[in-house]
A = this chain, B = another copy of it.
Amino acid sequence: MPNDTCHCILLRKASRKVSSYYDEALAPLGVNIGQFSLLRNINRLAPISLTDLAVQVELDRSTVGRNAKVLERMGLVAIGHGEDQREAMLTVAPQGHAILKQGAPLWDGVQDDIEARLGAEKTRQLQELLAAL
């Protein structure tokens, strides 16, 4: 069984490659696709706790916590406290809103490029397959 048919390895390769497309497009803003996506989610759900955000984005809580801390250092996200003193409530800082606004067209560009390259039918297939895995 040739190694280059391993679904996992192919997925990881594709994931790295496609991530780099988005990363390059967003590079002028100083954020990568993971950070931009997390920022979008925080914006969509704010104010939200680390635990809830982790559930939403399907990542480990500690991962989201560390990633959020990077965004905080960048001044894009504010980490405050909810009524429950244990909860770290996340909101998007003004600078973060600017990044969201500037990044949207860049993100759209990559997204459109990919869909143009694949075509509508295969784009649909891709979304369906990835969801089915």
Contact = CB atoms under 8 A, between A and B. Distances in A.
Contact of A129 (B1, B111, B125): B125
In terms of DSSP, what is the predominant structure of the interface of chain A? Answer: helix
A13 interface: yes
B14 A18 contact: no
Interface in A38-75: 40-41, 44, 58
Interface string A107-133: 110110010011000100111011111
Given A6-B37, A8-B18, 15 more contacts: A1-B104, A1-B107, A3-B37, A3-B40, A3-B44, A6-B22, A7-B114, A8-B33, A10-B131, A11-B14, A12-B19, A114-B133, A118-B129, A118-B133, A125-B125
